[in-house]
Structure 1
Amino acid sequence: MILENSFKTISIHKIPRNCFLGFFYIFILNLISMTRIFIGLLICLLFLNCDKKKEKTVIKNKPYIISYENKELKRHYDSLAVRPPSTKGFFYGESQLIIDQKGNLYFYQKRHIQILCSYGSENDTLPHFLNLQPKDIVKIPKKCLKDFLSENILSKEKKRHILIIGSQSDTIKDPYFLDFLKSNIIQTYYIRRTTQEEDTVLKYKNNSDYYYSDSIKWDRTKIKLPNK
């Protein structure tokens, strides 16, 4: 009788099968919940890393503002005991790079003329008429900018390693150009706004229109036309 009661007591403390299934179900739910929390934290970390990368990109590709840089350059020159040669009247060189408002890059060259003495260009306030033609301007693929300029400028004698850069916008944001500028491949360059002639010829080129300079109503306050 005592033995029988002992067995009954043991059987009372047995956990039913349904309880085991319940515990297992709760465990699975907790596991799923923890997994979701882990995935959420992982996504947050990824977003934080993306934000940091964006910040680094912004710092690396700091825009070049022509008007601001010109003021800073003038302030620097004014502080020097011996001032370098003035860039006044220096609108064109042998090699020109143009940046349009969309960030597209173009290139054209003038015939190289060796100048042995000053001919008064420093007194000019207007760019001279070049007789630039649409066929003279070539579009440069952005990814090829460094190689293109190296091939067309650095292959010449060192004193001709000069690049004139004309931008249609006061602020230059194109990352390929800014990366080129930072690389210091071409150490002598001058950045200005595009001239009336460059803007006009580039417009005709992009529209594939017939260009005849004599039919253009030039603004004589912005360009020095030849005497006829």
Structure 2
Amino acid sequence: MSETPPEPVNKILRVTSAAFAVVFALFVASALTLPTARAATSLGLVSEGTTGLQVLQTLLQFGWFLVAIVGYLAISDQRNLVRIARPTPRDAALIFVGGLGLFAFQYGALVVLGELGLTTGQNQAVVPDGNPVTYYALMVAVSLLVVGPVEEALFRGVVQGGLRRAFNAVPSILMASAMFGLVHLVAVSGTPGERWAYVAVAVVLGAVLGLLYEHTDNVLVPGLAHGMYNAVIYVELLRQSL
């Protein structure tokens, strides 16, 4: 039986392991998404510069994220790290309130930043390559069923769950949220100030999702709340484009 390392060493190992999990997932997705998307276009499944290709790339990206998550859990022998259960009626209420609450917070943050003469950068995921109506409509479902759950499996399940084995709830949530916010920096366009403002908002959103995971011990709750939050954004963009 392996012994638990001393507490300071265990904390360093947990932070390092969490950071590695994020880098590993990003590496796998970035290395494999484009080649598999190109294979799909070469087979005639989708065409270049179309909405179908853009949505497919999103699905492939998060599909590879999921493969990386499963691989990390298998390699590190931590298959029970990501807690998943069928949502209860109470969980469903938390998902609904959490999703709308996240959207309300973001809207309020944008208003406050606007009053200060500031704004956030733009996430490239909301910029359609083709028909915006079709893209936004498809992304409602993709966000709810794929993007939110997979991101939360990584940041709340793997990262926060791993940190929770060495830290109390608050530092675990804050560190996982910081990693969650920083990852979005590469996907946001704008001035440095606008990009970091986006990261700051994402960190707070991540902390709320972390609280949901800590409270329910079920990654589907923050996953679906996150997906609902993203879906509401796309619904609003769809409304504006009609």
Pairwise TM-score range, normalised by the shorter structure: under 0.3
Larger radius of gyration: 1
Decide which structure has greater helix share.
2
TM-score (norm 1): 0.25
